[in-house]
């Protein structure tokens, strides 16, 4: 007879508890010749399975490591191969009736595969810690594009930044370099950050935002209402613009009846002295509802879809000075 006990003690590794290698105690009772015969049979029967299982585990770990390296290398290789480009979606100024700015949206078209969804490659970039070099590449592309534009002074250029970049020491210099590139062409920069960014970030992030705002850079909280942000964060972090997620805009029904939560967010933004961008506006009813409640900017397919830099230059010349409320006027953009 054999009694087996397995013992292991937890270790603290990288601030997380992990189990140490197990210790196995064997207590064997019985006649020696019978014990030897029994264990010889067990070894012959199960040792090949144990060896195969061990080999499979080794293969799996190596495959996971290679997959992680592969995803990282794919992104870095795509940056070097210039497979990324930027599309720009206009912002309609409710008071001025013209295009007041754009949001820069990174796109990846992979040869032989086609377009990769932004939510997919952005998530991978964050997981593999490639998001900072990817955003730095985005900033260079934006600077190159804006050099060909002729927009009105004070034109808003919205750029999304991830938590890792926002907390990093490179953020201020990266934004300053972009600002120097686009300012001669009339554009000003707006950093767009999500609620998730507010929750995850540190004092360094706040210091970065304060420094950049002193230099004229605006800060927008993107997709507001869809994350896990406590309202207290709105007082702790400096910001200028609140972007309402399209999910709330969709609560405006065909009759334009009251959307209670949307109205509460708009009232909150007004009380904080923030300008408001409503995202995902697609219908005249939504547009009229939002304009009546004091929204500052409107963004969505109702006015214009995201477009390449070249298409935006043509579109802005035709529509930028006065954006028609008729969506068919911009359908060909």
- The CATH number of residue 258's host domain is 3.20.20.450
Residues 57 and 91 occupy one common structural domain: no
Whether residue 288 lies inside any domain: the answer is: yes
- Closest by CA position to 265, among listed 281, 251, 282: 251
Same domain, 44 and 137: no
With a cut of 50, say whether residue 34 has pLDDT above it: yes
Q: According to the model, what pLDDT value does residue 32 have?
A: 60
Look at residue 77 and tell me if it is in a domain.
Answer: no
Kind of pairing between the strands at 155-160 and 187-194: parallel
Query: Higher confidence at residue 201 or residue 176?
Result: 176
Same domain assignment for residues 36 and 155: no
Residue 16 confidence class, pLDDT cut points 50, 70, 90: very low
Contacts of 211 (CB under 8 A, 6+ apart): 172
Question: For residues 64 and 52, what is the distance between their CA atoms, to the nearest angstrom?
Answer: 18
Using CB atoms within 10 Å of the CB of residue 236, give its burial: 0 to 12 exposed, 13 to 18 middle, 19+ buried: exposed
In this structure, of 174-183, 202-211, 309-318, the range with the lowest mean pLDDT score is: 202-211
Per-residue pLDDT at 112: 86
**One domain, residues 241 and 147:** yes
Share of the chain above pLDDT 70, in %: 70
Q: Is 187 helix (H, G, I), strand (E, B) or coil?
A: strand
8 assigned to some structural domain: yes
Q: Are residues 99 and 173 in the same domain?
A: yes
Higher pLDDT, 87 or 51: 87
Domain boundary among 44, 70, 96: 70
Question: Is residue 76 situated within a structural domain?
Answer: no
DSSP 328: G
Are 187 and 233 members of one domain? yes
- The answer to whether residues 155 and 34 belong to one domain is no
In angstroms, how far is the first alpha carbon of the chain from the final one? 81
Q: Kindly state the average pLDDT of the residues 91-105.
A: 95
Are both 236 and 326 inside the same structural domain? yes
Residues 57 and 201 in one domain: no
Least confident of 6-10, 38-42, 120-124, 282-286: 6-10
Contact 183, 149 (CB under 8 A): no
Whole-model pTM: value is 0.76
| Buried b / exposed e along 184-195 (16+ C-beta atoms within 10 A) | ebebbbbbbbbb
144: in domain: yes
**Quick check: 275 and 297 in contact, CB under 8 A?**
yes
- Check residue 226 and report its DSSP letter: S
pLDDT at 273 over 70: yes
Q: Is the pLDDT of residue 138 over 80?
A: yes
> Which two tokens mark 132?
């900072």
Question: How many Cα atoms occupy the beta-carbon half-sphere of 281 within 13 Å?
Answer: 29
Whether 78 is covered by a domain: the verdict is no
Q: Would 252 be classed as within a structural domain?
A: yes
Whether residue 75 is contained in a domain is answered as no
For the cut 50, the answer to whether the pLDDT of residue 157 exceeds it is: yes
Q: Are 321 and 98 in contact (CB under 8 A)?
A: yes
Tell me the C-alpha to C-alpha distance, in Å, between residue 24 and each of 4, 6, 49, 106, 153: 7, 5, 19, 54, 74
pLDDT at position 298? 96
Q: What's the pLDDT score for residue 322?
A: 62
Total number of domains in the chain: 2
Which is more confidently placed, 321 or 100?
Answer: 100
Does 148 have pLDDT greater than 80? yes
The domain of 109 spans: 83-330
- DSSP class of residue 159 equals E
- Are residues 130 and 235 both part of a single domain? yes
State which of 70, 96, 118 marks the end of a domain: 70
Q: Are residues 158 and 283 in the same domain?
A: yes
Of 19, 41, 70, the domain-final residue: 70
Residue whose C-alpha is closest to residue 151's, from 305, 279, 312, 324: 312
178 and 326 both lie in a single domain: yes
Output the DSSP codes for 189-224. Answer: EEEEEEHHHHHH--HHHHHHHHHHHHTT-EEEEEEE
């Amino acid at each position: 007879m054999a009694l087996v006990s397995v013992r292991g003690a937890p270790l603290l590794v990288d601030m997380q508890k992990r189990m140490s290698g197990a210790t196995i105690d064997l207590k064997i009772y019985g006649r020696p010749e019978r014990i030897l015969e029994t264990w010889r049979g067990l070894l012959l029967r199960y040792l090949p399975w144990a060896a195969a299982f061990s080999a499979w585990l080794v293969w799996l770990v190596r495959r996971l490591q290679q997959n992680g390296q592969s995803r990282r290398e794919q992104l870095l290789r795509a940056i070097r191969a210039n497979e990324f480009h930027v599309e720009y979606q206009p912002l309609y100024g409710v008071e001025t009736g013209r295009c007041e700015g754009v949001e820069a949206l990174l796109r990846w078209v992979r040869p032989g595969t086609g377009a990769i969804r932004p939510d997919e490659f952005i998530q991978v970039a964050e997981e593999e810690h490639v998001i900072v070099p990817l955003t730095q590449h985005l900033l260079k592309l934006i600077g190159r594009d804006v050099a060909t534009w002729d927009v009105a002074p004070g034109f808003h250029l919205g750029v999304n930044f991830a938590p890792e970049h926002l907390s990093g020491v490179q953020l201020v210099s990266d934004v300053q370099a972009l600002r120097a590139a686009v300012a001669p062409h009339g554009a000003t920069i707006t950093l767009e950050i999500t609620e998730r960014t507010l929750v995850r970030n540190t004092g360094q992030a706040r210091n970065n935002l304060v420094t950049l705002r002193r230099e004229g850079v605006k800060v927008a909280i993107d997709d507001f209402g869809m994350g896990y942000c406590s309202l207290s964060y709105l007082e702790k972090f400096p910001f200028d613009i609140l972007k309402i997620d399209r999910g709330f805009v969709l609560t405006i029904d065909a009759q334009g009846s009251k959307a209670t939560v949307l109205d509460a967010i708009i009232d909150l933004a007004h009380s904080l002295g923030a300008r408001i961008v409503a995202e995902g506006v697609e219908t005249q009813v939504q547009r009229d509802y939002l304009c009546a409640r004091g929204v500052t900017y409107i963004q969505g397919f109702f006015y214009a879809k995201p477009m390449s830099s070249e298409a935006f230059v043509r579109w802005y010349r035709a529509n930028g000075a006065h954006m028609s409320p008729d969506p068919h006027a911009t359908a060909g953009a």
